[in-house]
Chain A
């Protein structure tokens, strides 16, 4: 199973608004895929379909060997394998950073406290936050919170990580520190799908760029896609974005 994610003509509507109108693309193991496109192009919805936060209404979507389009898919099992990081961090405000990171391992995987904390500290070291383990989210900067959120997902030892515009709420300096963490994950061989507005970052870190437009995959290719857009839509998007 080398294809971790396979979209095949996936359709999704919210009421009368059709957001995904036949989306198809695949992500291989160890690949980093960047979903780019305007607001409303469906990229965040596509990402949320991957871990079942949105249900697919048509077409087929395979994630880690599971059929997300079928009824009765085991979301609980899926989420042990697929981590997600949100734009607004969504850390648990009543817990310290270390408690945030160890909650999943302890309650879902049944790890003992000290074992989970060892793992948690290891993950915090990965994102450069080991000295902040005892802090509460509100005591940290946005960039630190976002790195803590990444550590929380990593602690579940996922096979696939999803990033939903994780730097959109951060200023350029803090954006840099979060992107460096994602780069190091890519270097470790983590399979990742990221929705991003950071074109330079997408160009440098992504193996595959998926340009979405009006609910379909308009163009897809490697990092050089942004240098040689085939369609006027991507040309215009890149022109505005850079």
Chain B
């Protein structure tokens, strides 16, 4: 097909599998950082807001490929020899954490202040207010933008190619190096990225519309 053998196609698909693995790492890691970050950014004290704000500014002010380099070489300088997967996973976690934190901060702030008050006034403790009253409402608001951001994570995981991580972009490049059919090879890679992302982004739109109708 377009001068690409089945084996080569399977090789590219294998890369796509690693793209999904890295994206999942980024999303799970990012969520673990993002949730406390969102709470700190929306409800924390001044010092906590300043520190977490600095983190967000830092991550948002550095291009993702540079974060990848820093994670990969920074950690190997300090004596640990990390596989690219770990470095890329850490970089994606830092990146997704900052952005998910900002997205979710907005969702928490979208829950009316009066809900905090009502929860406080039936004597719920701060953590209980968050768990039983605020987060369930914020989560509903967060679903659509979170799924939307998942698409960004998947696409941006391709930057891991700069530290030699074997993903969809990397495997396509390898196949291209042996076939010299860049247009065909990268079109296949593009189609696979699209096939992964399109269902997610259309799901995000649908969820957004459903929420708006409420």
Instruction: Name A's B-contacting residues (CB within 8 A).
Output: 51, 53, 76, 79-80, 83-84, 86, 88, 90-94, 103-104, 107-108, 152-153, 156
Contacts and interface: CB of A to CB of B under 8 A. Distances in A.
A52 to B, nearest CB: 9
Contacts of B121: 51, 53, 79, 83-84, 153
A86 B118 CA distance: 8
Given A53-B117, A86-B114, A103 B122 contact: yes
Contact of B137 (A79, A86, A94, A107): A94
Contacts of B118: 86, 90-92
A90 B125 CA distance: 18
B123 A92 contact: no
A79 B122 contact: yes
A81 to B, nearest CB: 9
B5 interface: no
A127 to B, nearest CB: 16
Nearest to B139: A94
Interface string B103-142: 0000000001011011111111100100011001100100
A83 B120 CA distance: 11
A192 B137 CA distance: 31
Nearest to A53: B117
Nearest to B133: A92
Contact of B115 (A76, A92, A104): A92
B122 A76 contact: no
Given A92-B133, A93-B137, A107-B132, A80 B123 contact: yes
Given A79-B122, A92-B133, A103-B124, 17 more contacts: A53-B117, A76-B123, A83-B121, A83-B122, A86-B114, A90-B114, A90-B115, A92-B119, A92-B132, A94-B137, A94-B140, A104-B124, A107-B124, A107-B132, A108-B123, A156-B122, A156-B123
A94 B136 contact: yes
Contacts of B125: 76
Interface in B187-214: none
Contact of B124 (A51, A83, A108): A108
A51 B117 CA distance: 11
B15 to A, nearest CB: 41
Given A90-B114, A92-B115, A79 B120 contact: yes
B123 A90 contact: no
B102 to A, nearest CB: 23
B119 to A, nearest CB: 8
Contacts of A107: 124, 128, 132
B211 to A, nearest CB: 13
Contacts of B136: 94
A92 B124 CA distance: 13
Q: Which of B114, B115, B117, B121 has the most CB of A within 10 A?
A: B121
Q: Which of A80, A84, A90 has the most CB of B within 10 A?
A: A90
Interface string B140-178: 100000000000000000000000000000000000000
A61 B132 CA distance: 31
A153 B122 contact: yes
A86 B116 CA distance: 13
A84 B115 CA distance: 13
B114 A88 contact: yes
Contacts of B128: 107-108
Contacts of B114: 86, 88, 90
Contacts of A51: 121
Interface in B81-117: 112, 114-115, 117
A88 B114 CA distance: 9
Nearest to A76: B123
Contacts of B117: 53, 86, 90
